[in-house]
Amino acid sequence: SAAEIGEALRPVLRMASKIVLVDPYFDANEQRYRDSLVALVGQALRMPRSVAADPEIVIVTGVDQMHKEREGEFTGEQIARVAANLRANAERQLPRCLPAGCRVQLVVLKNRLGADPMHNRFVLTDVGGVIVPYGLDDYTRAEAHTVRDDLQPMHRGIYDERWQQYAELRGVDIVLGPIAIAM
């Protein structure tokens, strides 16, 4: 559940100055993603924090989940339309559910030709990272039964690679962002 994901990640979220939530399927229009985001942000902002300032929070999502290869070429116009829709959903929905004064950034990526497709889900912070195999959404809403997930701390090499990729945005195809969404 959203609360369980937030609670499990509480120690790393409270120590972090930067938090990058990577889920290529994240769409703020979906309640199950908003619930988890609220739980994660709530844990990150909850006192006591190990660092004084509120953390920088970045959501990284992708456009490719909206296109199937059998549909033919994913045109630049289609890509831009999907990214604009993800942005509009975030700008409309997130201010309603996150605390006043909270800021998040949204980044929308496209799978880079010849590179690993964006599929895995991560919570990356400046103090470490966690692999979230089922994703950053609340499965208690989406499923008739609760899905149990095994959150996995990242080994240093994997963490370093993913931090460069998603926090520093190196070697990725950015369609949109980072754009700030203020509450």
Residue 70: its pLDDT value, please? Answer: 56
Token match 């692999």: residue? Answer: 131
Q: What is the DSSP string of the chain?
A: -HHHHHHHHHHHHHH-SEEEEE-TT--TTSHHHHHHHHHHHHHHHSSS-SSSSPPEEEEEEESGGG--GGG----HHHHHHHHHHHHHHHHHHHHHHSPTT-EEEEEEEEPPTTS--S---EEEETTEEEE-TT-SS-HHHHSSSPPP---EEPPHHHHHHHIIIIIS--S-EEEEEEEEEE-
Residue 109: its pLDDT value, please? Answer: 96
Residue 117: its pLDDT value, please? Answer: 74
* Contact by Cβ (8 Å): 144, 138: no
Residue 139: its pLDDT value, please? Answer: 62
Per-position b or e across 109-139, b if 16+ CB within 10 A of its CB: bbbeeeeeebeebbbbbbbbbbbbebbbbbb
Strands 122-125 vs 18-22: parallel, antiparallel or unpaired: antiparallel
- Spatial CA neighbour of 163 closest among 51, 14, 55, 60: 60
d(CA 67, CA 70): 9
Radius of gyration of the chain (CA): 16
d(CA 131, CA 155): 10
Residue 146: its pLDDT value, please? Answer: 58
Rounded average pLDDT per 10-residue block, the chain, 183 residues: 85 93 93 91 83 87 74 81 95 92 93 78 94 72 58 92 95 93 81
Residue 144: its pLDDT value, please? Answer: 45
Strands 103-110 vs 173-182: parallel, antiparallel or unpaired: antiparallel
